[in-house]
Amino acid sequence: MQTPASYGEGDATFLAAGGEAGIFELVNRFFDIMRDDPQYREIWDMHPDDAVDKDVSRDKLARFLCAWTGGPRLYREKYGPISIPQAHAHLAIDARLRDGWLSCMRAALDSCGYPEDFKAYLTRELAVPAERVRQACEKNLHAS
């Protein structure tokens, strides 16, 4: 049984999430909830319509999270280097959308049936890049 303190060490978070298959499942649920729950529809609509059912966005987030949780660097392998704040800097993401993204992720984590301490850990950790995204977008919100 994983303790919260060890989740950040090495690939412990990646393994606790169920490895590559677990993370792709989590991300698929995340996007399905975003598509189906009206409260997240605005975030769904912000993603490019580049493939059926946002397949590229699903692939990108899942690959990114594999490395972010200490697993293989699958995003870089396929898409090259990435800075999360920069990747969102053209968008107008405010505190409401940041919290919506995190809440949608929390719903996806709940639907996967992970242990409570793991869900709490991941939600807390994801709040850090989510806030950096909001900060990177701040200039777009004040422009008039």
Helix (H, G, I), strand (E, B) or coil at 9: coil
Structure tokens at 111: 């639907």
To the nearest 10 degrees (0 to 180), the angle between helices 19-36 and 55-68 is 140
Q: Which is nearer to ligand HEM, 1 or 14 (CB)?
A: 14
Q: Which is nearer to ligand HEM, 81 or 113 (CB)?
A: 81
> Do residues 109 and 31 make contact, with C-beta atoms less than 8 angstroms apart?
no
**Closest CB 1 distance from ligand HEM, rounded Å:** 26
Does position 141 interact with ligand HEM (CB under 6 A)? The reply is no
> Do residues 93 and 137 make contact, with C-beta atoms less than 8 angstroms apart?
yes
Does position 89 interact with ligand HEM (CB under 6 A)? The reply is no
Q: Which is nearer to ligand HEM, 1 or 48 (CB)?
A: 48
Q: Which is nearer to ligand HEM, 91 or 112 (CB)?
A: 91
Q: What is the DSSP string of 44-67?
A: HHHS---SGGGHHHHHHHHHHHHH
Question: Where do contacts with ligand HEM occur on this chain (CB under 6 A)?
Answer: 43, 46-48, 57, 60-61, 64, 68, 79, 82, 84, 87-88, 91, 93, 97-98, 101, 126, 129-130, 133-134
